[in-house]
Amino acid sequence: MIRSKSVAKLRRTSAPLDTSCNKDSIVLPKPTDWHGRSVYAALKARKTVRSILDKKISLQTLSNLLWAACGTNRKAGPFGGAGITAASASNSQEIEVYAATEDGVYLYESGAHRLVLAAKGDLRPMAIGRGQRSWGSKAPVRLVYVVNIGKFDTAGYQEPGLYDPETQKAYYYVDAGMIAENVYLFAASLGLASWFHNCDKATVARHLNLPATKRPLFGQTIGHPGKE
């Protein structure tokens, strides 16, 4: 059970997420303790929920969600870089998180804890496997995980695996999974729905105008649960 105070707070702070002004960047409010379920209770509740309502989440909830995903949790992290909530190979932090909303797609910058507009328009129906396009595409936010291969060049601890194609692939898929599980647990801790899924990689790359060194991997949709 989520403590009732937390639910009341979630309702109070649910001024809808409004990105309709299509600002080039959105400074997110500081992440705050959302007083959700314990880690144990969140683990018990974690599951994929594919039925997600067309109902906004607040900017504070989005801020907390992105911070939970891969936000900065210590300035002095490993190998000379900042530390984030998700582990990554050699602290490369090579997974970029994009938030697709009704109005545009924003790149999350964990250092500044802000969103930077990457593309205007509603990309939510494309950030999922083609066969599931009509599912959850009205959810308030669909995250897209994109690997930035170039980040391995600046990883704090340089080791041969960072440049071996097979090892590199293992690293970035694991690192994306670390973030995705954080998101699952964040959602479960607040009673929100969360759904990790494929994405239409070629279409997303084209719309985001990504260079060859950046590859979309997966998507994850978050919002208020509907009836399953």
Ligand X SMILES: Cc1cc2nc3c(=O)[nH]c(=O)nc-3n(C[C@H](O)[C@H](O)[C@H](O)COP(=O)(O)O)c2cc1C
Q: Which residues bind ligand X (CB under 6 A)?
A: 47-48, 50, 129, 132, 196-198
Q: Please state the separation of Cα 34 from the chain's center in Å.
A: 17
CB of 149 to ligand X, least distance (A): 19
CB of 196 to ligand X, least distance (A): 5
Nearer to ligand X, 9 or 138 (CB): 138
Cβ atoms of 99 and 110 within 8 Å: the answer is no
Nearer to ligand X, 26 or 183 (CB): 183
Nearer to ligand X, 90 or 132 (CB): 132
CB of 219 to ligand X, least distance (A): 8
Nearer to ligand X, 94 or 200 (CB): 200
CB of 154 to ligand X, least distance (A): 27
